[in-house]
Every structure is written in structure tokens, then in C-alpha cells.
Amino acid sequence: MINEVPASNKVVAITFDDGPNPIYTPQVLEIFSEASGKATFFMIGEQMGKFPEVVKKVAAQGHEIGNHTYTHPYLSQLTQEECLEEIERNESLVEELVGRTPVVFRSPYLDYNHETLSLLERKSYPMIGALNLEAQDWEQPGVDHILAKTRDCVRNGSILLFHDGYGDRSQTIEAVRILVAELSSQGYQFVTVSSLLNGQI
């Protein structure tokens, strides 16, 4: 699992899971537009089917859409055939909506086993993790907690994880707004996970 990519430049990849969401995803887009940065959105197929216009808006603004499966299951509990279907249904929908397939993958709950890994290898997907898992923004632990546990993880090439889908994400939005402003003032640039992996920074 890739949690960071060594980089000589001040770059970070900020990622969002479980969207798209019609309330919170557009707020994330606004934050990154103001910072002239890009983010990676690991989207769930079921959510993309509900909010296709949000998906198209994310892609149109130059952000990356990553594969986060179709229904957000625990992949280690599925057969290899079921896993493959989860991944490929997501791919097909992204291609249908924005004209290209995802090239990065994050497993729901960061759950996987040996079979999952061999399947991803066959599909040429890097498995993307993150450094700031202690921030636990999905638990709504408070803006200060999210920020404190994330600041500790910021360095060149960090991959950071937040959520723009499922439930009330207002704490996440507020924390990301503050974090992006702070990191911008420190000279950091915000890039997609693919850019980080390909050294296009």
C-alpha cells in the first residue's frame, strides 16, 4: 500500500473517499480552485450513479477520479470474481461519465487480502493508502483533532485521506479549508496521486 511518494518538491496529494456528494464535493472543489491545486477523489460507483453531474464537474476541473469499488464492501470477504466485478463496474461507470478509466485504487476500509492484491496487480492498479489515518475524519472527531493528526503527517510526497461522502462532512470541509490555506502559505502545491506516482511535479 502506497502512503507516500518520495519527492524533492513541496507537494502533497490530498484525497477524498466515498463521494461524490452534492453538498460537500462542490465545497472541496471550491477550496482547491482557490488554492490552484488538484485533488484525487476515490469515488463509489453507487454514489456516481446518483450524482453524475458532480462526477463530471470534478473531472472537468482537472481533478483525478480514483476507483473505490461500486458498493464499498470489505473486499477480503468477497470471492475474486465478486472483487473483480466491484472494480470493473466502477471503471465502466467512470469511463461512461468522463471518458477515461481510473488508474489508482483505494480499497474500502483499507481492507484487503492476498487475493485482492494479486487482482489489483493483474489490473495494474497501485493500492493507495494515506499517512494521516489517525485523523479519522470519518468519525467526526472535531476539526482540531483532524488538523492536529494530519499536520504531523505533512511532508514532501505525503498522501492524505479525507471523506467527502456519507453523513455529515462539515468538520472535514472546515479542516481541509484551514489545512489547504496553511500549506499554501508554506509553499506546498496540491497534486493528484497519479502526478505524484509519475513524478510529474
Summarised one tens digit per residue, pLDDT across range 92-146 is 999 999 999 999 999 999 999 999 999 999 999 999 999 999 999 999 999 999 9
- Asked if 173 and 27 touch (Cβ cutoff 8 Å), the reply is yes
pLDDT digit string, tens, across residues 15-53: 999 999 999 999 999 999 999 999 999 999 999 999 999
pLDDT digit string, tens, across residues 167-193: 999 999 999 999 999 999 999 999 999
Running DSSP on this structure, what letter comes out for residue 126? Answer: P
Q: How many CB atoms lie within 10 A of CB 122?
A: 10
Residue 183 dihedral angles phi and psi, to the nearest 5°:
-65, -35
pLDDT confidence of 199, banded at 50, 70, 90?
Answer: confident
Q: Tell me which amino acid residue 42 is.
A: F
CA proximity to 100, closest of 133, 138, 58? 58
pLDDT digit string, tens, across residues 73-90: 999 999 999 999 999 999
Pick the residue with more confidence: 201 or 59?
Answer: 59
pLDDT digit string, tens, across residues 132-161: 999 999 999 999 999 999 999 999 999 999
- In DSSP terms, 47 is beta-bridged to none
SS3 content of the chain, % helix, strand, coil (to 5): 50, 15, 40
pLDDT confidence of 201, banded at 50, 70, 90?
Answer: low
What is the rounded distance in angstroms from the CA atom of residue 201 to the CA atom of residue 198?
Answer: 8
- Is a pLDDT exceeding 80 seen at residue 200? no
Grid cell for residue 53: 453531474
CA proximity to 157, closest of 13, 2, 36? 13
What is the rounded distance in angstroms from the CA atom of residue 158 to the CA atom of residue 89?
Answer: 29
Residue 64 dihedral angles phi and psi, to the nearest 5°:
-95, 140
The residues annotated with a catalytic role in the active site are: 17, 163
What is the rounded distance in angstroms from the CA atom of residue 58 to the CA atom of residue 26?
Answer: 8
The pTM score is 0.96
Q: Which residues contact 121 (CB under 8 A, 6 or more apart)?
A: none
